[in-house]
Each structure stands twice: as structure tokens, then as C-alpha cells.
Structure 1
Amino acid sequence: MKFFNFLVIAIFALTSCTLDKTDYEAETGLEIPELSEFKEAVSFTTGNYKVSIEALNGTFYKGYNELHLKVLNTQTNQTITPSAVTFLPVMTNSVDFHTSCPHQYNLEYNTVAKYHSGYSVFTSESNASNNWELYLSFTVDNQKYEVNKEISIEKQSNKNLNMTAFTGKDGEEYFIALTAPQKPKVAENALVAGIYKYNKPTTIVGTFPDPSQFSYSEVTGYTLKLDPRMPEPSMGNHSSPNNKDLTQQNDGFYHGVVNYTMTGNWTLNLILMNQNGLILKGTVVPSDFTPGVEGVKSELYIDTLF
């Protein structure tokens, strides 16, 4: 009888991962391409200068966005190299409350590619209640130029580039944004994420938009523990071997390994620990195999789908 019961459980587990498996390719409707081309997402003119900001696919998405900024002298039609280039995104909601998102305020000049580079982790999409605006400044020939323009933040359709925001046990506001892989494979994948925190202001509010009130920074020396699972009832919340926790590398991003053993819905269950090993957010996920029952998720997680 014991052998019979074991056999039934084994057969149920096998069929749950095959016959009853959701057709996720049909669910998504189309294959999400891996974006690699930077195109102009927004431009504006001030004085004799046109400022152009490029992003992947020419679109600002919710989540992590790498940005390239170029300045053109409209009189000579020549690209110039301004100094002291600053970048500040500000969101205003329906009750006129202002907030921002993780971003690089002082953009850096890439001497090889000939543009200023930075990033922004937009935390919400543009809609009737959330209006995003960019505030930029740069200096040419000792003259400072300032400009602002409304922008549109689109939904991130690639769930492999999802993000999450939360308050840690230390009372700080944190943000985790996935940056890779854009297009995972059924294999061990390099998993990359940016982890940021809001720098609480220590000064009185100055003239709007005061950058000291909208300051963010990369967290340093943290650990992001990883436990990927397939939470669908038909998948039994099973995991995979050879995953590696995310630790910070020289580029400032956190790198690890996620092993996707099949396509479908995956949940990246996470535990964020600071330099001292203090858990700021996240819980251990039960290791039980639960066919027919939706899997338990960590207190901190990001869903993916490929």
C-alpha cells in the first residue's frame, strides 16, 4: 500500500509538470525581443541648443532605464560637450505631491561614445494621476541653461525587467530593479539587479525642484539572497539547482545566477541583507512540494515570465 501511494504521488507530480502545465507562450501572445538599440525618447531646445535623451527602443519604461544625453548646437549643427549636466525626474500626483525615483543626478561624460550617460528607475507609469517631468541643466561657455519637459513613462511589458519598492526594517525606502537577463533561456542565466535607497533630506526644502529633497543612491555591500520558484499550482512551487545569491560587483550592480529549468511563471523570492547581515526585508520560502496548491512567496519577491 505504501508503494502504491508513493507511485500515485510520483505520477501526479510528473503529470503536473507536463500535461497540466499552462501554455505560457500562448498566454503572453508574442515573444518579447531583446532590445539593444538606443533611440531618441525626448528632445527639447533651449537657446541655441537642442538636448536629446536616448533610451532603449526610444521609450522610457517603468523600471531601470539606461540613458544617453547629447547636446547639439543648432547654429552650427555640431554636437557639443557641455559641463555640469544634471538630470532630475519628478512625478506629481493628483493632489500636487512631488516625488522622484532612483536616478543619477550628475551625468557622466563618455569620452569614447561622445555622450553623457546616466540612469533612471521610474517607479510608476504615466497616467491621469501621475505626471512625470524632467528637470535638466547644463553649462556651455560658463553659461548655465535650465529646462524642464513632461515625459511619458510606459508599462514594462517584459516581466524579466520588473522592479519592486518597499520599506525595510530599518525604516529606509528601498528599490530593486532587474536589468538582466532581458531574454532568459532554459539554463543558468546571469541575473543582474540595481538596488537603491532614498536619501532622507537633512535640509529645509529649497526652491522647487530642490535636488536635495529627491536624492537616491546605490546601496553598497548588501546581499540579495535568491530562491526562484514556479508558484503555479500545477508546478508545485518547485525550485531549481545551482542558483547564486546576488552580490555587488565593480559596476555597482548586484550579480547572481538564476537557473530556469523550464519556461513559464517564476517568482524570484528574495531576502535583502545589509553589510552587517541584518535582514531588511524578505522571508524564507517553505521547501515543500505542493502540487495543486499555489506556492508561498517571500515577503520580498519579483515575478518574472518568459
Structure 2
Amino acid sequence: MKHLHFIVIAILVVITSCTLDKTDYEAELNVETTEYIEFEEVTSIISGDYTISIEALNGTLYKGYNEVHLKISNTLTDEFLDSSKVTFLPIMTDANGNKVSCPHEYNLSYDSSEAYYLGYVVFTSESSSTVDWQLYIDFTDSDETHAQNQIITVEEQVNKNLNMTAFTGNDDEQYFIALVAPQSPSVAQNDLLAGIYKYNKPTTIAGVFPDPSQFSYSIVDAHTLLIDPRMPEPSMGNHSSSNNQDLEQQTDGLYHGIVNYTMTGNWTLNFILKNENNVTIKGTEVSTEFTPGVEGEKGELFIDILF
């Protein structure tokens, strides 16, 4: 009985310490996550007889996943184009003049019910004094092609629930995983959405800039993203949760799963990416050992979140 008494006391000490540490941690960070649902204009491009309006959530482009809407109007006829071929190419230039792109939808589709051209872009870095992002947009009207470009600002993504990661897989290909939802998780089972993309290595010599064949990306299809969420803080002891569901691709091209957050705080989403043949592209299993007082182990492939 005396031995049992000491065990109970020890458990209470661990729980109390855990709660106090977590409370102090949250108070220090004062984390707030805002869920944006309204699309607003980011910028507009006026050239000749045309105006191109680019919209995104909160009227801002962020590092990570962005759904984008384009509206193109002819100012002479005061009509919006609804049957144009529209291409969308983001290009980043660094301090050394190197030019790269990021995962994006090059050929935009027209959503007739919403009256805009729909696409996405996954910016891999925010704008800075050494990083410039520029959009190259081509469209057609009356069989004539119009080419426009515009420097844009990509902001830092302060909502860690929308973090992303880039990595080289075991197949020597370059991959990107970007969290899409939830923007503001709950202490519950949350629907988890992610985009998985791959850089398409050029097979031809570069043509006239900007040659889209040199900046091509595609959605990764028919893979599986295994998930193991854990709380890495020492006070959490590598704590995980049950009832999670691995991410599988659905008809929207995104990968859908479930993550169960049992409390607010700092979480790490450990992943293992497997291809259609169940071969591991990237990622390692994480130890299930409970390690109070020691920072939790992270796998080879992970994204940190906080809510």
C-alpha cells in the first residue's frame, strides 16, 4: 500500500508539472489562430484594355498553400472573360539572380458558377530584401494572346497549422507537402488536408524566358501519407493520440485524413510518404516510448504546428 501511495504521488507530480509547463508555454506565446473564409483582392494588373484581378484568402499571399482566383475584364466592353486560356507562373529571384518557381497550377480552369479562374500556388518562401516573387500571366481574347507580369509580396505564414516542408525523396525527386486545413484546430478529431507536389525535372533545354517547361510542378497522385502526431515538449513526454487516420488522396487532388489533438499546444506531425507500390519515399517511424523530461523524438519527415 505504501508503494502504491508513492506511485500515485509521482503520477500527480507529473500531471501537475505538465499542466503548469503547458500553461506557462501558452501564456508566453499568446497564440491566436484566425480562420479566414473571405477572398479579397491581393493586387490588380492594368494593361491596355484589360484588368486582371488576383484574389486570395484575406487578400494576402502567404508562404505555403494559397488558393487563387483570377478575374479578367475587358474595360472597353465592360465584360469579364469566361472562355480564355489562362496560364499562371510564379517565379522567385534571389539575391544572386537565380530563378526558381514553386508548386502551382499552370493552366487555370474557369469556374462558371463563381465566375473566376481557379488555381493554387504553394510559395516556398516569403518576400524579403533578397527574395522577389513575380507572377507571369498569359491569357487569350479573340484568338490574341496577352502576356502580363507583376511583382507581388508573399507574407510570412504566422499560422503554424498551415506550415509546409520541402524535401528530397529516396527516389532523388524534390517533393513538397503543404498543410491546407484546419486553419484553427480544435481539441478533437480534426479533418486534416494537405497538398503533396513534385518538381518535374526539365527534359529539354530552356527556351525563351519564362519557359514553363523549366518551372513545372505536378500534384503527386495515388500516394499515402502516414501520420503520427506527437507533443515534442519535454513536459509532454512524446505524448501521442489515438484515432488518427492516414491521409489518402481524394477527387480534389488533396490528401485527406484525421488528426486527433487531445490538448492545445505544440504538436509535431510526423509523416511517412509512401508511393502507390507502398515503397517509402521519405519518413521514419517515431519511438512510442514515453519520455517525460526529454524532448520528443521527431521522424525524418515532419511538420510542426501550434494552436
2:232 aligned partner: 231
C-alpha distance in structure 1 between counterparts of 2:88 and 2:210, whole Å: 11
Q: Between 250-259 and 2-11, report the one with greater CA deviation.
A: 2-11
Please state how far the C-alpha of 1:75 moved relative to its aligned partner: 2.2
Please state how far the C-alpha of 1:24 moved relative to its aligned partner: 4.7
Q: Which amino acid aligns with 1:197?
A: K
C-alpha distance in structure 2 between counterparts of 1:50 and 1:29, whole Å: 41
Matched, 1:285 2:292: no
2:210 aligned partner: 209
Contact 1:46–1:145 under 8 Å retained in 2: no
1:271 aligned partner: 272
Please state how far the C-alpha of 1:29 moved relative to its aligned partner: 3.0
Instruction: Tell me: CA distance 1:30–1:11, structure 2 relative to 1, closer, same or farther (3 Å).
Output: closer
Corresponding residue pairs, total: 306
Which SS does the other structure have where 1:284 is aligned? coil
Please state how far the C-alpha of 1:272 moved relative to its aligned partner: 0.7
1:17 aligned partner: 18
Please state how far the C-alpha of 1:60 moved relative to its aligned partner: 0.5
C-alpha distance in structure 1 between counterparts of 2:6 and 2:230, whole Å: 26
Instruction: Tell me: CA distance 1:270–1:3, structure 2 relative to 1, closer, same or farther (3 Å).
Output: same
| Alignment gaps of 5+ in structure 2 | none
Please state how far the C-alpha of 1:27 moved relative to its aligned partner: 3.5
C-alpha distance in structure 1 between counterparts of 2:40 and 2:258, whole Å: 30
Please state how far the C-alpha of 1:2 moved relative to its aligned partner: 5.6
Q: Between 7-16 and 89-98, report the one with greater CA deviation.
A: 7-16
Which SS does the other structure have where 1:21 is aligned? helix
Q: Deviations over 1:77-134 (max 9, x none)?
A: 3322251100000001111111000000000000110110000000000011211100
1:102 aligned partner: 103
TM superposition score normalised by structure 1: 0.96
Q: Which amino acid aligns with 1:214?
A: F
2:191 aligned partner: 190
Which SS does the other structure have where 1:19 is aligned? helix
Which SS does the other structure have where 2:165 is aligned? strand
Q: Which amino acid aligns with 1:61?
A: Y
1:141 aligned partner: 142
| Alignment gaps of 5+ in structure 1 | none
Q: Which amino acid aligns with 1:248?
A: Q
Instruction: Tell me: CA distance 1:35–1:28, structure 2 relative to 1, closer, same or farther (3 Å).
Output: farther
Contact 1:190–1:256 under 8 Å retained in 2: yes
Q: Which amino acid aligns with 2:105?
A: Q
Which SS does the other structure have where 1:144 is aligned? strand
Instruction: Tell me: CA distance 1:9–1:223, structure 2 relative to 1, closer, same or farther (3 Å).
Output: farther
Contact 1:229–1:238 under 8 Å retained in 2: yes
- Percent identity over the alignment is 61
C-alpha distance in structure 2 between counterparts of 1:24 and 1:293, whole Å: 16
Instruction: Tell me: CA distance 1:242–1:136, structure 2 relative to 1, closer, same or farther (3 Å).
Output: same
Contact 1:82–1:138 under 8 Å retained in 2: no
1:256 aligned partner: 257
C-alpha distance in structure 1 between counterparts of 2:24 and 2:111, whole Å: 44
Please state how far the C-alpha of 1:46 moved relative to its aligned partner: 1.9
Q: Between 72-81 and 234-243, report the one with greater CA deviation.
A: 72-81
1:60 aligned partner: 61
C-alpha distance in structure 2 between counterparts of 1:22 and 1:293, whole Å: 18
C-alpha distance in structure 2 between counterparts of 1:164 and 1:14, whole Å: 33
Please state how far the C-alpha of 1:28 moved relative to its aligned partner: 3.6
TM superposition score normalised by structure 2: 0.96
Matched, 1:200 2:198: no
Please state how far the C-alpha of 1:23 moved relative to its aligned partner: 3.8
Q: Deviations over 1:128-184 (max 9, x none)?
A: 121110000000011110011111100001110000000000000000000000110
1:79 aligned partner: 80
Provide the alpha-carbon RMSD of the alignment. 1.4
Please state how far the C-alpha of 1:283 moved relative to its aligned partner: 1.0
Matched, 1:300 2:277: no
Please state how far the C-alpha of 1:25 moved relative to its aligned partner: 4.2
Contact 2:83–2:110 under 8 Å retained in 1: no
Q: Which amino acid aligns with 2:255?
A: Y
